[in-house]
């Protein structure tokens, strides 16, 4: 019975993945930005692990778009997207206080001297992200969606009302707006349980979660999968850090 359940799940994802390239991605614009000489050596090294070329092709962010990089940390994706959306576009790089403390060292040189003039950085409370209504062409949460279901008061990470948080994003997206999610995959049938100890979340749980808040599943790619990761380790374990099995999903607001 379990093998039938797994097979059905795999087939369902294969069908969904067939509509992966739903955005109007400009491959040349992505390639130009990744090759920009102003990018740091650390960012270029990360490119090989995180494959932003493939991830942003799926997202389909375009020139002139307004995109929210939610829990964007040190701004790795914000810088890439700033070049893709161009001077008439805008990137909202949003951290909460805990992410700001974690990412400060990387953010300061990235934003110094107004080197990314179309990136607006803000520190916002989880319950009031300041995204507006029908204001965004797109948004992304990279390796941080699971944190909506994680709490660690000792480190300053307070519990989040995940439903209210997601509703803010959905309200802020324009009709047709896209939400890109990249996260560490958890074991089957674990739902959100592994978010606490392992910093992982189950892929099928994510699909149900965003659909429950009114978004449509629009596609996925397999670029960041690692079948050698059995998904039993904490993502910060040196044995798997930087090589976790990750899912990449795109959702769309009807």
Mean pLDDT of the chain: 90
Q: What is the pLDDT of residue 155?
A: 67
Q: What is the pLDDT of residue 104?
A: 80
CATH of the domain at 85: 3.40.50.150
Q: How far apart are CA 35 and CA 4, in angstroms?
A: 45
Q: Residue 198 above 50 pLDDT? A: yes
The number of distinct structural domains making up the chain is: 1
Mean pLDDT of the 103-118 span: 90
Q: What is the pLDDT of residue 17?
A: 41
pLDDT tens digits, one per residue of 41-86: 999 999 999 999 999 999 999 999 999 999 999 999 999 999 999 9
Q: What is the pLDDT of residue 156?
A: 66
Q: Which residue has the higher pLDDT, 10 or 151?
A: 151
Q: Residue 9 above 50 pLDDT? A: no
Mean pLDDT of the 126-144 span: 97
Structural domain harbouring 64: 2-252
Q: Residue 20 above 60 pLDDT? A: no
8 Å CB contact between 33 and 47: no
Q: Give the count of beta carbons closer than 10 Å to the beta carbon of residue 149.
A: 18
């Amino acid at each position: 019975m379990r093998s039938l359940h797994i097979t059905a799940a795999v087939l369902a994802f294969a069908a969904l993945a067939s509509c992966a390239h739903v955005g109007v991605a400009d491959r040349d614009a992505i390639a130009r930005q990744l090759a920009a000489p102003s990018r740091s050596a650390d960012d270029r090294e990360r490119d090989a692990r995180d494959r932003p070329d493939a991830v942003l092709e799926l997202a389909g962010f375009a020139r002139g778009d307004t995109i929210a990089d939610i829990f964007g940390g040190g701004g790795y994706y914000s810088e890439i997207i700033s070049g893709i959306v161009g001077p008439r576009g805008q990137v909202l790089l949003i951290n909460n206080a805990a992410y700001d403390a974690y990412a400060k060292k990387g953010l300061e040189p990235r934003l110094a001297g107004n080197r990314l003039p179309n990136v607006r950085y803000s520190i916002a409370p989880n319950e009031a992200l300041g995204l507006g209504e029908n204001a965004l062409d797109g948004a992304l949460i990279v390796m941080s969606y699971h944190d909506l279901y994680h709490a660690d008061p000792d480190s300053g990470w307070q519990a989040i009302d995940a439903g209210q948080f997601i509703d803010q994003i959905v309200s802020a997206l324009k009709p047709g707006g896209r939400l890109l999610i990249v996260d560490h995959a958890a074991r089957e049938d674990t739902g959100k349980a592994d978010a606490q100890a392992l910093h992982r979340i189950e892929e099928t749980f994510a699909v149900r979660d965003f659909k429950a808040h009114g978004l449509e599943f629009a596609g996925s790619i397999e670029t960041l999968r690692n079948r050698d990761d059995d998904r039993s380790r904490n993502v910060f374990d040196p044995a798997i850090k930087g090589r976790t099995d990750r899912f990449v999903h795109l959702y769309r607001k009807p």
